[in-house]
A = this chain, B = another copy of it.
């Protein structure tokens, strides 16, 4: 076998280069002696996540599924990914240097580097070179998921208004839930975010839209996050990120800034004030426990022309995340 097995290294026909032992030296690395890449019988058992063709079901009818053999780099990436997701490797942790990982996994450097590129594309690690460089671990964020979801949406020709409409569907029920709960902590948190919006709107004289909309987006996200539902929070974060990188940046080619700044500073300041009032009203409705009122109020806010840009440029602006 070409691949060095975990424990048994047959080494049948010794070629010119003697294959190194799978685990030779671990430079002060904790958790030494892990088999790590045991591809033999375990490879068939591990679901290894949905591959390119979906989960393989041991069902009856379609016997004979095209099975894609996992590459070695993919196995290495999966092992590292699992340790990151499980929390064994936390944000900021530094992975051992390449030679140590090569020894631990029993793979060569190109293979290890392929695994690095995969994890780097997933933003789970960031590799820096230099003196104290190496791979550092990052926690998974909705931004990563948003990138791929955005790819799917772009491939399907979704518009910016489509994404906005999704937010308009998700958020009102969350507002209703908060009103039903009437938790003072929720109200306080929202008031804090509202104050943050005010501060930004007041301090910045040029009133660049990016900062203000970011603060307003944080308010919208909080409405979802305070419900405690992690799935909706992640989904909303994804949608917001897609909106942000598509239409929020003025320099983006897909930005609806074809007409450069149709609003003057005065109108923009007025709009900010109106938005602030709408947000404040939501907090009041939540504090009062007006379930239906909060939901309807938030639904209208998200359906408002100046917020959703319905039928306007947003509905003709297909997503363009790739430049």
Which of chain B's residues have a CB closer than 8 A to the CB of A231?
Answer: 153, 158, 162-163, 165-166, 239
The answer to whether A46 and B155 touch (CB under 8 A), given A114-B113, A145-B149, A165-B229, is no
Q: Distance in Å from the Cβ of A69 to the closest Cβ of chain B?
A: 9
Which of chain B's residues have a CB closer than 8 A to the CB of A297?
Answer: none
Q: B322–A78 contact, CB under 8 A?
A: yes
Total number of A residues with any Cβ neighbor in B under 8 Å: 88
Q: A152–B140 contact, CB under 8 A?
A: yes
Q: Which of A3-11, A28-36, A241-249, A256-264 has 4 or more CB atoms under 8 Å from chain B? A: A241-249
Convert A13-56 into 0s and 1s, putting 1 for each residue whose CB lies closer than 8 angstroms to a CB of B: 00000000000000000000000000000000011111111110
Q: A234–B152 contact, CB under 8 A?
A: yes
A147 within 8 A of partner (CB): yes
A141 within 8 A of partner (CB): yes
Q: Distance in Å from the Cβ of A94 to the closest Cβ of chain B?
A: 15
Which of chain B's residues have a CB closer than 8 A to the CB of A323?
Answer: 46-48, 82
- Determine which residue in A77, A115, A122 has the highest number of CB atoms from chain B within 10 A of its CB, and name it: A122
Q: Distance in Å from the Cβ of A189 to the closest Cβ of chain B?
A: 18
Convert A60-101 into 0s and 1s, putting 1 for each residue whose CB lies closer than 8 angstroms to a CB of B: 110000001001011001100110111100000000000000
Which of chain B's residues have a CB closer than 8 A to the CB of A68?
Answer: 126, 128
Copies of the protein in its oligomer: 2
Interface residues of A in 220-241 (CB under 8 A from B): 229-232, 234-235, 238-239, 241
CB < 8 Å neighbour of A230 from B50, B57, B114, B162: B162
Q: B153–A234 contact, CB under 8 A?
A: yes
CB closest chain-B residue, reference A128: B68
Which of chain B's residues have a CB closer than 8 A to the CB of A151?
Answer: 81, 85, 140, 145
Interface residues of A in 129-160 (CB under 8 A from B): 138-149, 151-158
- List, sorted by A's number, 18 A–B pairs whose CB atoms are closer than 8 Å: A47-B245, A49-B322, A50-B143, A52-B123, A55-B245, A68-B128, A71-B120, A74-B117, A140-B151, A144-B148, A145-B145, A145-B148, A152-B234, A158-B230, A158-B231, A172-B173, A231-B239, A235-B239
Q: Which residues of A contact B (CB under 8 A)?
A: 46-55, 57-61, 68, 71, 73-74, 77-78, 81-82, 84-87, 110, 113-115, 117-118, 120-123, 126, 128, 138-149, 151-158, 162-163, 165-166, 169-170, 172-174, 208, 210-211, 229-232, 234-235, 238-239, 241, 244-245, 249, 251-252, 321-323
Having A57-B249, A121-B121, one finds 19 other A-B pairs with CB under 8 Å, namely A49-B147, A49-B321, A50-B245, A52-B123, A58-B251, A68-B126, A74-B120, A74-B121, A77-B117, A87-B155, A118-B121, A142-B149, A145-B151, A148-B148, A149-B149, A149-B235, A149-B238, A156-B234, A166-B232
